[in-house]
Amino acid sequence: MARVEIELNGRFYAVGCEDGQENRLREIAAFVDTRMRALAGDRSNVSEPQTLVLTLLTLADQMFDLKAELARARTSGSKESAEGAASLPAATEERYASFVEALAARVDAVASRLARV
């Protein structure tokens, strides 16, 4: 297992990840850091844990929206197929579904690791 030092809102954290996933973890951390800084803005009265919680809730909200959108696309895709309208090939739809589900799992894993810090 590899250890990566990431920076979130000016603080450094040592986080473990699978070997070979170091760059991906850094990329995710940079994304989260950008979101944290945007949410914190000029609010000096918001503590770092509060900023982290708000960031995680915002990202989870977006993930839930993506899951709902995927579910709607699947439902709409089956209706369109049943009606003879053009829809995504099943293989493409499954690739998209797998991608969103993998992304959701990664966000959940990062959130769990950060919650333990």
DSSP letters, 56-74, are HHHHHHHHHHHHHHHHHHH
pLDDT mean across residues, the chain: 80
Least confident of 7-11, 20-24, 37-41, 98-102: 98-102
Distance CA 27, CA 77 (A): 33
Give the predicted TM-score (pTM) of the model: 0.60
34 CB-near residues (< 8 Å, 6+ apart): none
| H/E element, 5 | strand 2-8
| H/E element, 15 | strand 11-17
